[in-house]
Structure 1
Amino acid sequence: MPARRRRSRPVWFPRLTLRGGIFLATGGALFLNALVIDRRDLLFVACLLLAVPVVALVYVTVRPAKLDISRTFRPPIVPAGGDTVVSLHVRNRSLRPVYGTRWRDTGSAGIRVPASMQLPALDRYEGGPEGGADTAILEYTITPRQRGVYDVGPLMLGRFDPFGLALSERVAGIAHDLVVTPRVTPLPGSGEALIRGDGSVHELLRHVNPNSDELIAREYRPGDSLRRVNWPATARHGEIMVRQEEQRSNPEALLIIDTTLTGAPTSGAGRAGDRTNHHDQAFELAVEVAASVGVHLLDENFRLQVIELGASQLAPGAAQTRGGLHGDANSTFRAPGGDRLLLEGLANLVPVERADLDAARAMLPRGAARGLNGQVPAFAVLVDLDEEDATDLAALRGHYQPAVVFALDTMAHRPVEILQDAGWHCIAVRTPRDIPDAWNQVQRERGAVHDPA
């Protein structure tokens, strides 16, 4: 699950290396042998072998180096499966040089950091700006595979004694958050087609978001799409007239995300365990579908409202506990910058428990459709909807045009049938490779309905 991944940090104490352990074991064996055979010279050697590791432990413990650590990510937000460069700026704040130190970074589960490496020698603190001999820059690349917010850090600095008998690791700096967003699959259909109306999907969206500008006609110009010919105006003027290019600046769209995962009944411990794992995988795919559709709509300058079927996580609050279908406020995203905010929110999205909604169902007409002007395109990504929620969603079909459901393979048949009977166009999505085809299917289906030919 992509919840925030934290792990407890162990407390590191000075410890002996393998060489130090051999010294200690050899010294102990010689000490016992010297006592048995009463050899003072052997006793002296034994005590020396025992004392050296102890002194080494003290050496690596006292007077630790004072270092300033700053950490940056390039880029600071990375999609799942993408690379980001971790850059560590290490500066010596001590009045003595630092050498013979090893470093290793730490990270949450799911973050693979490099093994321990030698820290470049640092001169004593010089003052002034960074970049002198008292500063070193350490860089490495990480590739998180799953969305979420990960801890990277703190840095661990290992100090050895000159003989390599003891090691002391100390924490330096603090952990920093790395935001890993869901993957975004580019969807077919150019921005120009959406803006100018060339393309079946946008013809549909323009049709369900009419405004006065589209009713204005002008003369035909070479290159204009014949789909935009205004035939009544052509008859009146005696020449070919087309609909005005200027369009609504803030068309609206709705994105519904299933976050409850409570639809399927449980029958048997073994099957429940398997289903839970399967549902988690399906939920990750659902978030990827939602990210792809949401970013695509924002790129086309839609004002996007997002509904979560569970308690709101994108717009949390004390009253945001019933879900967007039952009165909770919707989250709204706009371009520019809305795509980044949406992806950052989806990075933290997790399945939640379904609330008791018996008293909330009276609020249905004011829930999901609140704040929307007329009919708007709606895209629902469903993982495990139960029949009651499917009935609630089906009752709102009249507010949306088109109304499209991307159904994961964890959906039961009956909720899908309820939505289809209400007029929702249901498209199955089983793997990330199905996302472009599913969007193409929307375009083909809606284009076939609205193409005058």
Structure 2
Amino acid sequence: MSASRRPLWFPRLTLRGGAFLGVGALFLVQYLFTGRRDILFVACLLLLVPVTAAAYVAIRPVAVKVSRTFRPSVVEAGRGTIVTLIVRNLSARPLYGLRWRDTGAPGLTTPGALVLPGLDRFEGGRDNGADAVRLEYSLAPRHRGIYSSGPLRLERYDPFGLASSEWTVGEPLDLVVTPTATPLSGTGLTGAGGDGDARERLRHLNHNSDELIAREYRPGDPLRRVNWPATARHGEIMVRQEEHRSNPVARIVLDTALRGRPAPPPGQGPDRRFRHDQAFEVAVELVASVGVHLLDAGFRLDLVELGPSQLGSRTGTGRGGLRGDPAVEFQEAGGMRLLLEGLAGVVPLEPGPAGGAPPAPALSGGYAPQLPLPTFAVLVDIDEQDAAELAALGAAARPAVAFNLDTMRPAVIETLRAAGWRCVPVRAARDIPAAWLDAARAQGAAQGAAAFTGREP
């Protein structure tokens, strides 16, 4: 990381230095009334010493290089990470008597000013000599987000502690704090063990189907795909090649637009905005919990945002949603990390001005699902058009479960319920496990209907 240094305006006097100036000024005033030269000498001495100290700390700038790392670099909200700073002296003279203090974005609690160990003159070579020092401290952000950590501030004092000056050194580094993924019960969609009903019916029709298309094991293949009969016959580990054809898929719809939230009137915005922001944080944690649960069960996950895509590339439609930007796909291998890291930076879109233009009509193209998939919509405050699009999506969803935050309007919820959605209320993060169990009952009903009709849910 490239080094940079910038003095923080002008050298500052400490309390001791200010006292020197104040007493020196009093002696100078006394000299004007008495005319005694000894008092003038003391006054000049008291005034000159802090000025000299300020010049001392300003003339000798700090030349150092700072490298910053996190361990781990991605952390879950509420969990801790270790910040490691390596400070190296780049000047030809030793550095002593410095204090260091790290900075960070709001939400990061950094330690106060601490003494920096002495650094020898620059030696060259690796950053592990006497000209470098390793500093560490812990961080535990409470909320998800992408936080900027740094730069480092170094403070120098003169030998008498009369003046100080600060420099910012190093560059900031982003810390990714993912939402908390609440563990969910292994019921509902995970009942098939991640294999899917289609695969189970295939095995009943042809017991040797797995063996006919088995292939050799490759590094990274899950052990649950090992075909043990084929492994015993061939003398090497074999896995099921047909896994990709019947890999189950689930769909999650996240309300990032909050189009049902009107622009707050002047003087009444903070409370309403805070309520929706809190609900959105619960929605993101719910998406993280359900998404991790489905990926862990072997599902491929399609994530759809009702606003312009923040997790994937945009198509330029501007609206996003079910007929705008395409869904973002997450696979089992590495999908959990990508999902959580993506959700760390998702924010609710700002509402338009009150009384603005009506919502744009549904756009062609974009995300137009054709297959009936298990669908879970996490809704904060949608408008009538989003509700109509979700109602149409209900025909391509088995089951269709809508997790409704307490900011949703009752009329919109009734629209979804009339279209066949199972509406599950969620008020806080602690309600997520119970809400998932409620959704699992809808999945159980869909599986029962599929078994009776012979169709795949």
TM-score, normalised on structure 2?
A: 0.83
Distance 1:442 1:16, change over 3 A: same
- 209-218 vs 430-439, which deviates more? 209-218
Residue 136 of structure 2 is aligned to residue 139 of structure 1: yes
In structure 1, C-alpha distance between the alignment counterparts of 2:207 and 2:199, rounded to whole Å: 17
In structure 2, C-alpha distance between the alignment counterparts of 1:333 and 1:354, rounded to whole Å: 29
Question: How far apart are 1:161 and its partner, in Å?
Answer: 0.3
Distance 1:187 1:246, change over 3 A: farther
In structure 1, C-alpha distance between the alignment counterparts of 2:174 and 2:311, rounded to whole Å: 18
Amino acid at match of 2:28: F
DSSP 3-state at the match of 1:21: helix
DSSP 3-state at the match of 2:308: coil
2:367 is matched with: 368
Question: How far apart are 1:131 and its partner, in Å?
Answer: 1.4
Structural mapping, 1:52-451, within 5 Å: 52-189=49-186, 194=190, 197=192, 206-207=196-197, 213-218=202-207, 248=245, 250-264=247-261, 272-317=269-314, 319-353=316-350, 360-361=361-362, 363=364, 366-370=365-369, 374-448=371-445, 450=447
1:237 is matched with: none
In structure 1, C-alpha distance between the alignment counterparts of 2:125 and 2:422, rounded to whole Å: 65
In structure 2, C-alpha distance between the alignment counterparts of 1:357 and 1:340, rounded to whole Å: 38
Question: How far apart are 1:392 and its partner, in Å?
Answer: 1.5
Question: How far apart are 1:85 and its partner, in Å?
Answer: 0.7
DSSP 3-state at the match of 1:106: strand
DSSP 3-state at the match of 1:42: helix
In structure 2, C-alpha distance between the alignment counterparts of 1:10 and 1:111, rounded to whole Å: 24
Distance 1:56 1:319, change over 3 A: same
- 79-88 vs 320-329, which deviates more? 320-329
Structure 1 contact 249–301 (Cα < 8 Å) conserved: no
Residues 274-310 of structure 1: per-residue CA shift (max 9 Å, x gap): 2221111001100110111112222223221111111
In structure 1, C-alpha distance between the alignment counterparts of 2:37 and 2:265, rounded to whole Å: 73
Structure 2 contact 8–165 (Cα < 8 Å) conserved: no
Distance 1:84 1:282, change over 3 A: same
Distance 1:400 1:318, change over 3 A: closer
Distance 1:362 1:105, change over 3 A: closer
Structure 1 contact 310–353 (Cα < 8 Å) conserved: no
Residues 24-78 of structure 1: per-residue CA shift (max 9 Å, x gap): 1111111111122101110011001000001000110112232110000011011
- 312-321 vs 407-416, which deviates more? 312-321
TM-score, normalised on structure 1?
A: 0.83
Distance 1:111 1:50, change over 3 A: same
1:3 is matched with: none
Question: How far apart are 1:430 and its partner, in Å?
Answer: 0.8
Unaligned runs of 5+ in 1: 1-8, 220-243
Distance 1:99 1:57, change over 3 A: same
DSSP 3-state at the match of 2:314: coil
Amino acid at match of 2:368: A
In structure 2, C-alpha distance between the alignment counterparts of 1:190 and 1:427, rounded to whole Å: 16
Residues 161-195 of structure 1: per-residue CA shift (max 9 Å, x gap): 0000000100111111111111111111189x94x
In structure 1, C-alpha distance between the alignment counterparts of 2:164 and 2:315, rounded to whole Å: 49
Distance 1:266 1:68, change over 3 A: closer
In structure 2, C-alpha distance between the alignment counterparts of 1:210 and 1:418, rounded to whole Å: 35
In structure 2, C-alpha distance between the alignment counterparts of 1:51 and 1:304, rounded to whole Å: 72
Structure 2 contact 92–122 (Cα < 8 Å) conserved: yes
Structure 2 contact 263–351 (Cα < 8 Å) conserved: no
RMSD: 2.8
Equivalent pairs, count: 409
In structure 1, C-alpha distance between the alignment counterparts of 2:7 and 2:125, rounded to whole Å: 35
Question: How far apart are 1:155 and its partner, in Å?
Answer: 0.3
1:42 is matched with: 39
Residues 386-410 of structure 1: per-residue CA shift (max 9 Å, x gap): 2221112101211111111111111
Residues 406-447 of structure 1: per-residue CA shift (max 9 Å, x gap): 111111111111111111111111111111111122223432
Residues 67-97 of structure 1: per-residue CA shift (max 9 Å, x gap): 1100000110111111111010111122111
In structure 1, C-alpha distance between the alignment counterparts of 2:285 and 2:418, rounded to whole Å: 27
Amino acid at match of 2:113: S
1:6 is matched with: none
In structure 2, C-alpha distance between the alignment counterparts of 1:416 and 1:274, rounded to whole Å: 23
Question: How far apart are 1:318 and its partner, in Å?
Answer: 6.0
Distance 1:443 1:245, change over 3 A: farther
Tell me the percent identity: 52
Amino acid at match of 1:279: H
In structure 1, C-alpha distance between the alignment counterparts of 2:271 and 2:7, rounded to whole Å: 33
